[in-house]
Structure 1
Amino acid sequence: MQLYNTLSAEERARLIDDAGKQRLTLSFYAYARIENPTQFRNELFLAWNPLEVLGRIYVAHEGINAQLSLPADHFYAFKDTIEAYDFMKGIRLNVAVEHDDHSFLKLTIKVRDKIVADGLEDDSFDPTNIGVHLKAKEFNDLLEDPNTIVVDMRNHYESEIGHFTGAIKPDVDTFRESLPIIEEQLAEHKQDKKLLMYCTGGIRCEKASAYFKHKGFENVYQLEGGIIEYTRQVKAEGLQSKFIGKNFVFDHRLGERITDDIVSNCHQCGKPCDNHTNCANEACHLLFIQCDECAANMEGCCSTECVDVIHLPEEEQKALRRGIKNGNMIFKKGKSEVLKYKDSASGITGTAATTLEKRTKDLRAKSQEPRLKKTLIGKGIHYFPKAEIGQFYLENGQIQSGDKILISGPTTGEQQLTVGEIFVNDAPADLAIVGNTVSFKVPFRIRLSDKLYLID
């Protein structure tokens, strides 16, 4: 009886490409009393694995929190599997604004103490005594009320790229940090103001609204279904979107475009930008905002030190990564001191910092290999397995037949080749420029994490 993944992410990506099916990305949650979370977890895996469901799901005694993708033609069969449980009958499924067939590449269902890490241990706290749910129009109307205080219940790196106008945006790294901060800041308004909250899909507000009612707030409201459902209703009903910018999401897309507004800046040069990325140095993997120009100049890295690291041989990079934990306590998301445009004292500190610095210096001194002169020009976006063709999006420079290139990625490694016949935006052409998709034959599989470099 299979209860765990047996395929790697790369193998799963290949199967998705070969199947050629459109996949839906969606999320949902439900608070309920689950007596045996492990048994519940195993039942879900057995039901979902045959339906090709992939995603990240947490179950606990208090309920379920799920973010996943599945083939569109399996949607109703999937609904049947969850509605077999009374507490999930008629549950709202938040379907993503933008879809990506590779948003998830594994089915991971984990049993946790809680479905949201809230840090609450108060036995007198009733999580079912929640605030008033508001639909998009009701939420917009309440935003106009001068007695309303609207609070973003997400983390700083989420609200930075998109938020509701006029919202309080706590500068926190985790949900559990925000609860006492908001309570303290709004302590004088427990009776005279309407507390209006929102988050990505609604689950954090579900817990937060009950917490604030428990703490004496009398007028507590929350956006039903979060930003995802709000956006769907705004489009369906022709309403004005009072959420501006991007909605941060926790799969490899890292964001869904809601409006054309750019409300954040590149963390390296200050240029208006809202594209999150992870540092190309796997020993760092810092999450930060980087514009296309800085991505090209810094080769997808957050600092010159990390640029040095990615030029080391792969085995030495692996040695550098050994023992380093890339968590919030070491690499503050979007707040590292290496990011010139961010004014923050938070960063890599203590023993972890000393260890990383020492390893970097040691490996730099050890590596005597000549540097390959290369320029980052694009990223992998698709691979056609039967035709053995890789497709890339050009973010910088240009490319033509006969150019020498390097394709680099965590799984692909570093592969050099000479470009043969090219197709630009799916048509034969001689030259591809910035903004084009360019396709050409490659003797190996490319992946979405791969970078395309032009060798000088």
Structure 2
Amino acid sequence: MQLYNTLSAEERAALIEESGKQRLTLSFYAYAHIEDPKAFRDSLFVTWNKLDVLGRIYVATEGINAQLSLPADNFYAFKDHLDTIPFLKDIRLNVAVEQDDLSFLKLTIKVRNKIVADGLDDATFDVTNKGVHLGAKDFNQMLEDPNTIVVDFRNHYESEVGHFKGAITPDVETFRESLPIIEEQLQDYKEDKNLLMYCTGGIRCEKASAFFRHKGFKNVYQLEGGIIEYTRQVKAENLESKFIGKNFVFDGRLGERITDDIISQCHQCGKPCDNHTNCANEACHLLFIQCDDCKASMQNTCSTECLEVIQLPVEEQKALRRGVNKGNMIFKKGKSDKLSFKKSGELPDVAIATAPKPVRARIRKTLIGKGEHYYPKAGVGQFTIEQGELKAGDKIIISGPTTGEQQLTVESMRINGNEGATATAGDKVTFNLPFRVRLSDKLYRVLQ
């Protein structure tokens, strides 16, 4: 019985690209009593793996929290399976606003103590005494009430790129940090104010609303289905979106656009930008906002120190990381004194730029090889051709988790050290590149 992934992320990405099948990204959660979370986890993995489900799922005695993707062709089979589980029958599935076939590249189902790390002792209050759920229309109306206080229960790196107008946006890195901060900030408004809360998909507010009712807040409301469901209802009912900017998501996309408003800046140069990236230095991996110009000049790194590190041979980079206790000390979410234009806490409601309309044309391509090495002084990338052929003048795409997707034309190249015009399987090819090549990069030839 297979209970683990057999393919690497790169191999999975190549298979998805070659299949040409559209995938759906979706999420759901449910609080329910699960007597044996491990057995439940194993049964989900066996069934979902057969349906080509990929994603990040947490299971605990208190329920399930799932973010995943699957082939659109398997959606109804997946839904049928959910309906066989009593507490998941007819569960609302939050389908992503923007779809990306590569949002997830492996299936991970983990057993946790809780499905959301809230730091609360559930035995001390009634977790079922939740706030009133509001749909998009009612939520908009309550936002207009001067007696309403709206609170964002997400983290600083989420709210920075998008939030509801007028919302309190705590400067926190985790959900558990926000609860006491908001309680202290609003302690004088327990009786006479409407406490309106929201998060990405609704799960954080399920527990937070019950906690605040327990703390004496009389009028507690929460956005049903979070920002994802709100956006769907806004489009379906032709409502005004009170949410501006991007909705941060915890998959390969790192965000989905809700409105054309850009309300944040590149953390390195200050240019209007709301695209998150992870530092290419594997010993850093800092999450931050980076524009295309800084991405090119800094090669996806957050600082000159990290830029210098990624120029080193891979084995030397590994040696520098060896024995280092990473954890939260390294994987901080967007807080660094190197990022001059980082903003958090009180955030603006006014756009500083408008996002360009995306051009979505599906490019036909075929996988022909993989990245081997990059020579920074010469600005040359090396690849191994594994199948098919590459000719001078071909349009190619170099794609990888850190590199992104770069398209260019091979004007000239060297094959096995000599100038040549056509490379075939087994050949080592080199050509000039304005960006770094990594071992995880795949080489595609664009089909005419």
Class of the TM-score when normalised by the shorter of the 2 chains: 0.7 to 0.9
Is 1:130–1:213's contact at 8 Å kept on the other side of the alignment?
yes
How far apart are 1:10 and its partner, in Å? 2.0
Is 2:397–2:405's contact at 8 Å kept on the other side of the alignment?
no
State yes or no: 1:418 paired with 2:393.
no
State yes or no: 1:25 paired with 2:30.
no
**1:370–1:273 Cα change, 3 Å:** closer
Distance 1:404 1:248 in 2: 40
State yes or no: 1:81 paired with 2:81.
yes
How far apart are 1:46 and its partner, in Å? 1.4
Stretch deviating more after TM superposition (165-174 or 116-125): 116-125
Question: Partner of 2:261 in structure 1?
Answer: 261
Question: Partner of 1:372 in structure 2?
Answer: 377
Deviation by residue 1:173-218 (Cα, 9 ceiling, x = unmatched): 0000001110110011111000001101110011111111111111
Distance 1:156 1:385 in 2: 45
Question: Partner of 1:453 in structure 2?
Answer: none
Where 2:196 maps in the other structure, the secondary structure is strand
**1:331–1:70 Cα change, 3 Å:** closer
Question: Partner of 2:397 in structure 1?
Answer: 391
Deviation by residue 1:39-60 (Cα, 9 ceiling, x = unmatched): 1111111111110011000000
**1:386–1:184 Cα change, 3 Å:** farther
Distance 1:28 1:402 in 2: 48
Where 1:123 maps in the other structure, the secondary structure is helix
**1:210–1:447 Cα change, 3 Å:** farther
Question: Partner of 2:223 in structure 1?
Answer: 223
Distance 1:72 1:81 in 2: 15
Deviation by residue 1:316-347 (Cα, 9 ceiling, x = unmatched): 01112223344433443211112122389xxx
Where 1:158 maps in the other structure, the secondary structure is helix
**1:404–1:134 Cα change, 3 Å:** farther
Question: Partner of 2:335 in structure 1?
Answer: 335
Distance 2:375 2:406 in 1: 24
Amino acid at match of 2:206: E
Is 1:292–1:396's contact at 8 Å kept on the other side of the alignment?
no
State yes or no: 1:61 paired with 2:61.
yes
Distance 1:201 1:78 in 2: 20
**1:160–1:8 Cα change, 3 Å:** same
State yes or no: 1:402 paired with 2:397.
no
How far apart are 1:125 and its partner, in Å? 1.4
**1:98–1:341 Cα change, 3 Å:** same
Is 1:279–1:302's contact at 8 Å kept on the other side of the alignment?
yes
Number of equivalences: 389
State yes or no: 1:112 paired with 2:121.
no
Where 1:119 maps in the other structure, the secondary structure is coil
Distance 1:51 1:331 in 2: 32
Distance 2:8 2:292 in 1: 30
**1:79–1:122 Cα change, 3 Å:** closer
**1:172–1:417 Cα change, 3 Å:** same
**1:4–1:419 Cα change, 3 Å:** same
How far apart are 1:15 and its partner, in Å? 2.2
Question: Partner of 1:427 in structure 2?
Answer: none
Deviation by residue 1:278-316 (Cα, 9 ceiling, x = unmatched): 111111111111111111221211111111101111110
State yes or no: 1:291 paired with 2:291.
yes
Is 1:173–1:328's contact at 8 Å kept on the other side of the alignment?
no
Stretch deviating more after TM superposition (270-279 or 163-172): 270-279
Distance 2:244 2:231 in 1: 11
Distance 1:139 1:282 in 2: 42
**1:18–1:210 Cα change, 3 Å:** same
Deviation by residue 1:378-418 (Cα, 9 ceiling, x = unmatched): xxxxx99878774259999995542569xxxxxxxxx9623
Deviation by residue 1:20-77 (Cα, 9 ceiling, x = unmatched): 2110000000000111111111111111111001100000000000000000010011
Is 2:284–2:306's contact at 8 Å kept on the other side of the alignment?
yes
Question: Partner of 1:242 in structure 2?
Answer: 242
Is 1:268–1:341's contact at 8 Å kept on the other side of the alignment?
yes
Amino acid at match of 2:377: L
Distance 2:282 2:440 in 1: 20
**1:120–1:6 Cα change, 3 Å:** same
State yes or no: 1:153 paired with 2:153.
yes
Distance 1:398 1:19 in 2: 20
How far apart are 1:93 and its partner, in Å? 0.2
Is 2:283–2:330's contact at 8 Å kept on the other side of the alignment?
no
Is 2:380–2:432's contact at 8 Å kept on the other side of the alignment?
no
Where 2:69 maps in the other structure, the secondary structure is strand
**1:398–1:22 Cα change, 3 Å:** closer
How far apart are 1:419 and its partner, in Å? 7.4
Q: Kindly, what percent of the aligned residue pairs are identical?
A: 71
Is 2:398–2:407's contact at 8 Å kept on the other side of the alignment?
no
Is 1:404–1:418's contact at 8 Å kept on the other side of the alignment?
yes
Stretch deviating more after TM superposition (80-89 or 1-10): 1-10
Amino acid at match of 2:66: A
Amino acid at match of 1:372: K
Normalised TM-score (structure 2): 0.80
How far apart are 1:94 and its partner, in Å? 0.2
RMSD: 3.1
Structure 1 residue runs of 5 or longer lacking an equivalent are: 345-368, 377-382, 406-414, 421-432, 434-441, 451-456
Distance 1:67 1:333 in 2: 20
Where 2:121 maps in the other structure, the secondary structure is coil
Distance 2:114 2:149 in 1: 28
Distance 2:131 2:409 in 1: 58
Is 2:53–2:68's contact at 8 Å kept on the other side of the alignment?
yes
Question: Partner of 2:34 in structure 1?
Answer: 34
Q: Give matches, 1:87-166, under 5 Å.
A: 87-166=87-166
Where 1:391 maps in the other structure, the secondary structure is strand
Question: Partner of 1:410 in structure 2?
Answer: none
Where 2:73 maps in the other structure, the secondary structure is helix
Where 2:328 maps in the other structure, the secondary structure is coil
Question: Partner of 1:71 in structure 2?
Answer: 71
